[in-house]
Structure formats: C-alpha cells, structure tokens
Amino acid sequence: MNSPLAVPPGAVTTAAPASAIAPNAAELNELNRAFHADGYIVLRGFAPPQVCDRIEQVTRAQLAAAVPPVEYEAELGYPGAPASRDAAGGGTVRRLRQAYGRDEVFRQWASDPTLTEVVATLLGEAPRLTLAHHNCVMTKHPHYGSQTGWHRDTRYWSFASPELVTVWLALGREDETNGVLRVIPGSHRVALEPGQLDAAEFLIESHPASQALLGGVRPLGLERGDVLFFDSRLFHSAGQNASAAVKLSAAFAYFGASNHPLPGTRSAEFGSVELPAPAAR
C-alpha cells in the first residue's frame, strides 16, 4: 500500500549536491574501519547550516500541520507516551513518515553525493535508499515524547542481508536533557542468547547476558549538523525529552545494490531509490 507521498519504486534522483564536507580517501578508509569495529561513526558538522535550516523549516511547517503520513506517540505506546489519541498529548507526533516524498530538501539531503559516498564506502558498494524504513523525521517532544528501549533497527526489516546503514542527522543539539541516542559499541556483531529479547524485540535488560552489553553504553551527544552513521544492527536506545524544545532528527536507511528487500514483506512495499556508485578517486 503506497503512501500518497511516496515516490515511484526504483526512481532515480537528480538532486543537486547539498555540499556536505567531503572526507578524503584516507579519512574514508579510517571511517570505514571505525564503522565496522564499533558499528557507528559520527561526522561532526557534516550537514551545512543552510541544509539544516531548510530541512528544519520544512519539518516545522509540516509538523505544525501534522501533514500525513505521521506516526503518533500514542500509536506505539512506548514508556512515557500518551495512553491514547484522546488522552492529553494524544496528538503528539513521533515521526513525519515518508520524508523523501515530502519535499525536495529531503530528497537532496538523502541523495547528497557526499553523504552517499560515505554510505557506499561503509557498504562496500553502490547504495540504495529504502523508502520503507526510517525515511522520516524523528521528533522527541517535551512531556509526551516517549522512551525507546534497546533495539536493533533491523528487528522488523526483511532483507536478503541485514547489512544496512542508518543515517541520522541532528537538526539541533542532542544531549542527556532531551533524549540523546545511546549506543552499545560493537553490539552490531553480538550474537544474542535465546530469551534475550522480548516479544517486540527489545533487549531484556535484566537478562544475565545483557549485563556485559549494558556495561558498554555510550551516549552520543550531537550538535546541529552532526551526522551519525550506524550499522542498523547496532543496539541503541533513547530517553525522554526533559527540555522545553522539541528535538528533531532526520533518519534515512540504505542497503547495498547486491542486497534487496524480501518480496512480499513490508520492506519491499515502498520501493527504493538507486544512487550512484562512488566516484573513483
């Protein structure tokens, strides 16, 4: 079932560069090494201020009008979420979904050649943007923004190979006061014991085998324009927002050209966007 905001499956983008700061070949090599060792990298100030400004402007306008398709906090019912759509705060949006179809600013950012070159390096091949997962602006509102338990993004994703990269752009400061993302370095490669996940595939923190994992938690403080690239199998979580301002982050996910969503699954529903292979250096 395609959203009215979705773009046709297999569409090729013609976006102009968003002028992100390009790492050189040696830096890309080091980023690739760190990514595979830790499961994530952070590129500070990777998205230029004017890109953040344009994305934020469109996001705030669409958030204010709750332009569909959106996901409401009350729909998920995570800890801290309003009990129902009729409860106080029931209209709190958690995600502006299908961001790629919403506005050119999202298309330009998600297909920015500098960004996709980093993703291609991490995947080892030309990337494709999935329109089925993430492809959204994540919001974390004061009061009604919920807490997200430890999970792997791939928990409900169905691809031939689980190797995907999530790209998270901070549109403002993200810290312990407003629901910073926390990660467990190296957890993308950890095999879990039976019973370590609950029915919704969140990590059961009280499980004995979870203790070593939880001993390595690292909060990833971000500033506006910082971009976090993480292996979609990396365990991460986030708290609530105790500040007075909404936290906004754009999130997209990519898979390699030799990978594919499994036919008939939700991962295949919305199509994908082919992106160019990285230029030879």
Ligand X SMILES: O=C(O)CCC(=O)C(=O)O
Work out which of 73, 153, 226, 231 binds ligand X, going by CB under 6 A.
153
Distance from C-alpha of 20 to C-alpha of 10, rounded to nearest angstrom = 25
Q: Of the two residues 145 and 278, which places its CB atom closer to ligand X in the complex?
A: 145
Instruction: Tell me which amino acid residue 196 is.
Output: Q
Element (H, E) at 31: helix 25-38
The distance of closest approach from Cβ of residue 127 to ligand X in the complex, given in angstroms and rounded to an integer, is 19
Instruction: Tell me which amino acid residue 242 is.
Output: A
Under rule CB under 6 A, residue 188 binds ligand X? no
The distance of closest approach from Cβ of residue 176 to ligand X in the complex, given in angstroms and rounded to an integer, is 13
Q: Which residues contact 9 (CB under 8 A, 6 or more apart)?
A: 131, 270, 271, 272
Under rule CB under 6 A, residue 140 binds ligand X? yes
As beta bridge partners, residue 230 has 40, 166
Element (H, E) at 211: helix 210-214
Distance from C-alpha of 27 to C-alpha of 6, rounded to nearest angstrom = 35
Work out which of 41, 74, 99, 138 binds ligand X, going by CB under 6 A.
138
Under rule CB under 6 A, residue 148 binds ligand X? yes
Under rule CB under 6 A, residue 236 binds ligand X? yes
Q: Of the two residues 113 and 145, which places its CB atom closer to ligand X in the complex?
A: 145
Residues that bind ligand X (rule: CB under 6 A) add up to a total of 7
Distance from C-alpha of 246 to C-alpha of 214, rounded to nearest angstrom = 27
The distance of closest approach from Cβ of residue 11 to ligand X in the complex, given in angstroms and rounded to an integer, is 24
Site for ligand X in 15-54 (CB under 6 A): none
Place of tokens 């199509």: 271
Tokens of 190: 């950890």
The distance of closest approach from Cβ of residue 133 to ligand X in the complex, given in angstroms and rounded to an integer, is 9
As beta bridge partners, residue 164 has 255
| Mask for 166-185, x = binds ligand X (CB under 6 A) | -------------x------
**Positions that interact with ligand X (CB under 6 A):** 138, 140, 148, 153, 179, 236, 238
